[in-house]
Chain A
């Protein structure tokens, strides 16, 4: 006798179909961008890695800053500011030039300070070139070129540091033009993520070199 298939005979299909639906629905969630989804987890993992690296950098920075001896750093700053002041050292440079002349036995005949205004009137290009600088000119009465050499050597070993930008020597007289070095204080904001480089070695070299220089007694 030929039996026709009843609805009950297909009940076994409910199990595989239910599993299929479960996998499709939950798989959609697990592969998406939700907090439980694969993409979401991968991006979370990357964020954790980035944060960990940042945390490591910040730890290093904290360690460095905690190791800083503030009083010693302030003292270093004071020494370096004597070498390159934070404002135009006009009077200090005059004192240095006079002292260098006195040491070399030269006589100061004339002294002139050329301010930015004067340069501006003369040439707009000069202002661009010189920036916020002041030229100082000294005219000396000297006995020989060796005396001029002595003057320059003395001047270039005095603090604050200055740059000799011109010398005009003819028998018995010399005009020396100097630009005093100065640099305003940097108001750098303390950026949490801004790294601090270890400049200890550079500082030691600079301090070592500065030992060969002296402040002019006129200061």
Chain B
């Protein structure tokens, strides 16, 4: 086909197509941008309202807590006292230590107990085998038990000195 349009006319049509394309693209971008901006502004309004209501709620709660301050102070004191009494109750009873060393097969001559330290003990038994059984029992609770002086009395009894650690 022979192009009958002059060259100038052809250039004008080309520019016209470019113009339409740019205008359409601009409109598309503008519409998308406006939608996004409106969304952001809507979110801003929502956050503003939410911030206000949360802030009001907090103020009212703080006020109520100030009114309840005396109850809070009492509960804190009680909580602390429960802790203190609980610790005191959990402390080891010395009578239990004495029960461990006071066995029927021996008689205790002396017993020195110091909290957090070693116990010194001197007991009398009828013979070495009795004392051995006794020491064996004590070893179960005091693995680091130390045996000191063992003496035989003129009356026939045997005395053993022990350090319980």
Interface size class of A (residues with CB under 8 A): 35 or more
Q: Does B2 contact A (CB under 8 A)?
A: no
Chain B facing A: main interface SS: helix
Q: A residues 171-219 with Cβ under 8 Å of B?
A: 171, 181, 183, 185-186, 188-190, 192, 196-197, 199, 202-203, 205-206, 209-210
Assuming the contacts A165-B114, A183-B84, asked whether A156 and B47 have C-beta atoms less than 8 A apart, the reply is no
Q: Are B80 and A188 in contact (CB under 8 A)?
A: yes
Q: Are B75 and A206 in contact (CB under 8 A)?
A: no
Q: Are A12 and B71 in contact (CB under 8 A)?
A: no
Among listed A36-44, A87-95, A115-123, interface-contacting one: A36-44
Assuming the contacts A3-B8, A166-B114, A206-B82, asked whether A45 and B47 have C-beta atoms less than 8 A apart, the reply is yes
Q: Does B141 contact A (CB under 8 A)?
A: no
CA distance A81 to B74 in the complex (A): 13
Q: Name the residue in B22, B30, B98 with the highest tally of chain A Cβ atoms < 10 Å from its Cβ.
A: B98
Q: Are A188 and B73 in contact (CB under 8 A)?
A: yes
Q: Are B72 and A190 in contact (CB under 8 A)?
A: yes
Closest to A197 in B: B79
Among listed B35-43, B130-138, B144-152, interface-contacting one: B35-43
B residues less than 8 Å from A23 (CB atoms): 29-30, 33
Q: A58-B65, A165-B114 are in contact. List 18 more A-B contacts (CB 8 A).
A: A12-B23, A27-B33, A51-B55, A51-B58, A55-B57, A55-B61, A68-B71, A73-B75, A80-B81, A81-B81, A84-B88, A152-B98, A168-B112, A169-B108, A170-B110, A171-B109, A190-B72, A206-B82
Q: List 25 A-B contacts (CB under 8 A).
A: A12-B22, A12-B23, A44-B47, A51-B51, A51-B54, A58-B61, A58-B65, A62-B61, A66-B68, A68-B71, A68-B74, A73-B74, A145-B98, A145-B108, A149-B95, A161-B85, A167-B94, A167-B111, A169-B110, A188-B80, A190-B76, A192-B66, A196-B79, A202-B82, A206-B89
